[in-house]
Chains A and B, each alone.
Chain A
Amino acid sequence: MSGKGIRLTGAALTVLGLLGLILVYWLSFFWVSTEVSQGIAQRIFYVHVPAAWTSFLAFGIAAFTSGMYLWLRDERLDRAALAAAEGGMVFATIMLLTGPLWGKIAWGTYWTWDPRLTSTLLLWFIFLGYFMVRTGTENPEKGKRFAAVVAIIGALDIPFIHLSVVWFRTLHPDPVVLKPERPTLPADMLTLLLVSLGVFTMLFMGLFLLRYALENLRAEAQARSREATA
């Protein structure tokens, strides 16, 4: 895809994602049935869960493209990793903000050492380190390699972190969608969850492509200014 094609696709997906977000909000406020035990507060679910899934997708892409970057040394892979990591930070932050709000009402406390909440918090900090090593080096090439190493180790460590915090304690509701049997979520809630998941993924992909295109343009501008001074 050409640079312009990426920008247009990114812009289109972002606009569609934002429109979809309006739909998701409308559906979750006015259409979906209210959950019996938790009441209205449960509606934050349609933002919280898709944000969490999207952040894991984003960090997965960041770790994967980081590994490919170390292998192939194609600058575009590093730019993709950066774009995905930034998107992941945004959605992980949404997850971390909505989780405690929901938890306060559902569990009676803002913070619990629930495995999924804890894993996401730690993932957030791992990627904070990703940005700190990137910007903290004199030589940008070095920063890219360091950041890639942080992303890969982070991705490898997450299963261990998750296993260990599950082992430590759990309060979180059991999975309600991906289960061996049929999903236990009522049909309308499941529909909205899947719609919201699609919308969040679309929004992320749009932002990701725009951010990636911006990094490409920035690299091009730098290359041109180097040529001009040479």
Chain B
Amino acid sequence: MIEYLGQVRAIVWKDLLLEARTRERVVAMGAFAVLTGVLFNYSIDRTVVRPQDIGAGLIWMTIVFGGLLGVGRTFHLEAQDAALQGVLMSPAPKDAVFLAKVISNFVLLYIVSLMIVAVFMLFFGLELGSSAATLGLVLALGVLGFVALATLFAAVSAGTRMGETLLPILIFPLLIPMIIYGAGATSRLLAGRPATEVADNIRMLAAFALAAVAAGAVLFRFVVED
């Protein structure tokens, strides 16, 4: 068990260090988020809808698209000089590799998702009030479920001719629960409803994230075997 955690930690550390040095994915996802906010602003006619009304939906769509951009490239850098083969041939079990990839992707995308919320609050004048911690939890669980599915299917799509083009087709249908419960909870929290009103959403998001991580950890070995 201790050895297992050590293996997970080593890969997480390697990935985060790589990201800290190159800053490729965080910068790409962050720039994408801000620019999306700008485009959304001009795509909304404020005489017809108030930005507050659709803010939660826009936040989650931006997380999904920004996440695809970053998580879709999970195996890209390593695939280039067959470093992925090295990681997979290491004594670490395949599920440890998967969990490590999920954790490092989660850290990146969670930072980006907090930034997305901050940017959208700034751009659209959304108010959080006292529910910031609850929103943080909703985002964390939603992002975890997303990252688990996206990491597994990033490995699948990287192995096909179509590459990243395939990723949204594979994961969008699977993401409906995350969108419904995540965006639903965010809408209510942004509208100033009490945190107790989104307790069911949080439970379902947690169940979804847990199932996605567990299924990914079991199935990942079949995706990367050679």
Whether chains A and B associate is yes
Chain A contacts for B180, CB-based, 8 A: 164-165, 167-168
Closest to A143 in B: B160
> Out of A137, A154, A157, which one reaches B159, CB within 8 Å?
A137
- CB contacts between A and B, total, < 8 Å: 90
List of B residues within 8 angstroms of A163 by Cβ: 177, 204
- Please report whether the interface of chain B is mostly helix, strand, loop or mixed according to DSSP: helix
For B156, give the chain A residue with the smallest CB separation.
A146
Report which of B160, B174, B219 forms a contact with A157, defined as CB distance below 8 A. Answer: B174
Of B76-84, B105-113, B132-140, B162-170, the segment with at least 4 beta carbons within 8 Å of chain A is B162-170
In whole angstroms, how far apart are the Cα atoms of A48 and B105 in the complex?
43
- Residue on A nearest B223 in the bound complex, by CB: A149
List the B side residues contacting A146 at CB < 8 Å.
156, 159-160, 223
Residues of A126-173 at the interface with B, using a CB-CB cut-off of 8 Å, are 126, 128-129, 132-133, 136-138, 142-143, 145-146, 148-150, 152-154, 156-157, 160-161, 163-165, 167-168
Judged by a CB distance under 8 angstroms, whether A70 is at the interface is yes
Q: Closest chain A residue to B201 by CB distance?
A: A167
Residues from chain A with a CB closer than 8 A to the CB of B219 are 70, 149, 152-153
Q: Are A136 and B177 in contact (CB under 8 A)?
A: no
Encode contact with A along B190-216: 1 for CB under 8 Å, 0 otherwise: 000000000010001001100100010
B161 within 8 A of A: yes
Given contacts A150-B156, A154-B174, A157-B174, contact A125 B169 (CB under 8 A): yes
CB closest residue in chain A, given B160: A136
In the complex, are the beta carbons of A128 and B177 less than 8 A apart? no
Is A122's beta carbon under 8 Å from chain B? yes
Q: Contact string, B152-188, partner A, CB cutoff 8 A, digits 1/0?
A: 1000110111100010011011101100110010000
A142–B159 CB distance below 8 A: yes
Report the separation of the CA atoms of residues A136 and B173 in the bound assembly, to the nearest whole angstrom.
19
Most buried by A among B149, B204, B207, B222: B222
B-side contacts of A136, CB under 8 Å: 160-162, 166
Alpha-carbon distance between A128 and B200 when the two chains are bound, in angstroms: 32
Is B225 at the interface (CB under 8 A from chain A)?
yes
Give the distance in Å from the alpha carbon of A145 to the alpha carbon of B176 in the complex.
Answer: 24
Q: How far is the CB of A147 from chain B (nearest CB, A)?
A: 9
Q: Find the residue from B177, B207, B225 having the highest chain A CB count within 10 A.
A: B177
> Which of B156, B172, B173, B211 is A156 in contact with, Cβ under 8 Å?
B211
Name the B residues within 8 Å of A156 (CB-CB): 211, 215
Residues of A within 8 A of B215 (CB): 152-153, 156
Residue of B nearest to A149 (CB): B219
Q: Are the C-beta atoms of B159 and A129 separated by less than 8 Å?
A: no
Cα–Cα distance between A2 and B155 once the two chains are bound (Å): 38
Bound CA span A132–B170, Å: 9
From known contacts A142-B159, A146-B160, infer whether A133 and B176 are also in contact, taking CB-CB under 8 Å.
no
Contact of A164 with B222 in the complex, beta carbons under 8 Å: no
Say whether A132 contacts B161, CB under 8 Å. no
A137 touches B160 (CB 8 A): yes
Q: Quick one: which of A126, A160, A163 has the most chain B CB within 10 A? A: A160
**In the complex, what residues of A have CB within 8 A of residue B207's CB?**
160
18 contacts between A and B (CB under 8 A): A122-B176, A125-B169, A132-B160, A132-B162, A132-B170, A133-B170, A136-B162, A136-B166, A137-B160, A137-B161, A138-B161, A142-B159, A148-B222, A149-B222, A160-B176, A160-B177, A164-B176, A165-B180
Binding site for A on B (CB under 8 A): 149, 152, 156-157, 159-162, 166, 169-170, 172-174, 176-177, 180-181, 184, 200, 204, 207-208, 211, 215, 219, 222-223, 225
